[in-house]
Each structure stands twice: as structure tokens, then as C-alpha cells.
Structure 1
Amino acid sequence: MDVPVGEGAHGSRADRLVMAAVAFEGSEDIAEARRLARSFLTDLQQVHGVPVSDRAMGGVQLVVSELVTNAQKYAPGPCLLTLEVNEGVVEVSVWDSEPCLPIAQGADPGRVGQHGLEIVMAVCRSFEMHREPVGKRIVAAVALADDPVGDEASDQVC
């Protein structure tokens, strides 16, 4: 797996764009996608000096796992995972070939399964879905740092 990583040329270390992208084709790649996310965030801390909270570390891995799982389950062919850091957030973007946008179901503790999108939307700062000329792209943003205010929102993963 070849993972390109790039940096912008301006600003402080925390302001520079850092990104990685990789294509996946099989269900065994879901665990690999989580490992990529963990490695990406570890490098972000150790190589680039950008602080990453434990919540962000877990939250990004969870979002990556859920979005790649959905792409593998509902879309034919490969999916593309992109992780980008910009202005204190990690944008997790997953493209797949299925043009239909997913529909998040309402909370139902009695429902078995199909909670992935619901979980992703609950733990992210922002969540977007876009149709592409081919397929769709799901983008979820996870804050790198915990909420400094310490209010109720800080109990969430991001």
C-alpha cells in the first residue's frame, strides 16, 4: 500500500496541510484502513508536532472504520480513503462508486445493526455527503484537540 503524504509550504506546523490517501478493494482492508488512520495521527504528532487528543485518535479510527465498512458493503468496486489535516481538524473522506446517498436512521436502541452512520454523525464536528460525477463522497471532520471549555459537548469523541 503506497500512502502519499504531503505538506503545504506556508504557516506553522499546525497550520500546514498534511494528508494521506489510499484505495481499498476488499473487506479485509477495513482493519488496514484503521491502522492507516492510527499511523497517520501518530506521525502527525511525532513528525509534525501537531497535538492529537486520545478522543481524536479513537474517533478518527471509528469514523474511518464505519465509512470504509459502508463503502465495502454497499458499493461495488474500490473505495478511496483520504485523511487531511487542516485548521485543527482531520477530514476523513471516503469516495465510492455507489451514487445513492445513505440515509441515517433515527436512534432506536432495539434495532440490531445499521447504527454506523448514526454513530459517525454523533461523534464528528461536521458531516457532509456529496454526489460525484461517478459515485459519492462522504466527508466527516473530527477535531484534533478536546474542547477547551469542558462543557457537555466534550463528552463526545470529537
Structure 2
Amino acid sequence: MEYTLPRTAVSAGRARKLTTAFLTRPRPRLAPPSADQVDDATLIASELVANAVRYGRSNCRLRLQLGHGRVTVEVHDDSPGRPRIGVLDAESESGRGLAMVQELAHSLEIVNTGFGGKTVRAVLAVR
């Protein structure tokens, strides 16, 4: 599923709602993610969209996939800047988002699109 979100502060909250709805929707052929996995994926989507809104120059795209034993959360923005993963420090007020994503995800990758933008992809194992 793919969603286009505007470059506004409310988009991170919208990403949380969309991710939760997507992952909790009944699917007869797939085992549902656990509540903890839904929470992790929702936090990841929120953090990635918040970064895209903060550093991008236009709308961002949130893509969610469930299958093959994993949840994939991708966010694309048009900023050519490569995000930096900060230190996961409970005392910091900002700069921890990607560090949290890296802790929660099975894998984290940043892919330059070649058109001045990038996609940040986080994959979580499901059961």
C-alpha cells in the first residue's frame, strides 16, 4: 500500500494511523503481526515520515508491505541529503529517530533514487 503525505507536521500522526490500520486489517492467508510488531512498525513509520517532512522539500510517500515473514516500511522524499544516524541518548530532545528505527528494525537501508531524492527502508521480522 502506498500513501502520499503532505509536508506538514500532522503527517507523522497520519502515518501512525495508516500503518496501524494497514497492519491490523484481517488477511486470511497471512499471520497477523503481534501488537508489539504493530507498535514498532507504527513508530518507525512515524519517525521516517517526520524526518521526510522536516528535511524534504515537498510531499513524501509512505509505502507499507506485509508478507514473506516481514513488514517493510519505506518513506521516499525529494531531499538529496543523506540522513545521519545519531546516538540513541534518552537525554537528547532530537536526533534520535533513525537510531530508534535502527534498533527496532531487522534492517535499515537508505537508497538514493538518482533523481535527487532517497528512500529509507526499514524491515521488521514478523513472527
Question: What is the deviation of 1:32?
Answer: 1.2
**1:143 equivalent in structure 2:** 125
Paired residue secondary structure (2:79): coil
CA contact (8 A) 2:12 2:50 kept: yes
| Cα distance in 2, alignment partners of residues 31 and 75 from structure 1 | 17
Deviations 1:75-123 (A, max 9, x none): 1101000001231101100000001111112344443211101100001
1:22 aligns with 2:3: yes
TM-score w.r.t. structure 1 length? 0.74
2:40 paired residue among 59, 65, 77: 59
1:126 aligns with 2:107: yes
| Cα distance in 2, alignment partners of residues 67 and 111 from structure 1 | 18
| Cα distance in 2, alignment partners of residues 47 and 111 from structure 1 | 39
1:42 paired residue among 12, 16, 24: 24
Deviations 1:20-61 (A, max 9, x none): 100001221221111110010111xx2334221111110000
User: Which 4+ residue blocks in structure 1 deviate beyond 2 angstroms?
Assistant: 47-51, 106-112
Q: How many pairs are equivalent? A: 124
CA contact (8 A) 2:19 2:64 kept: yes
Opposite residue 125 of structure 2, the aligned amino acid is A
Worse-matched range after superposition: 24-33 or 57-66: 24-33
Paired residue secondary structure (1:38): helix
| Cα distance in 2, alignment partners of residues 112 and 36 from structure 1 | 26
Deviations 1:99-148 (A, max 9, x none): 11111123444432111011000010000001112200000001222xxx
| Cα distance in 1, alignment partners of residues 92 and 16 from structure 2 | 25
| Cα distance in 1, alignment partners of residues 93 and 13 from structure 2 | 22
Opposite residue 18 of structure 2, the aligned amino acid is L
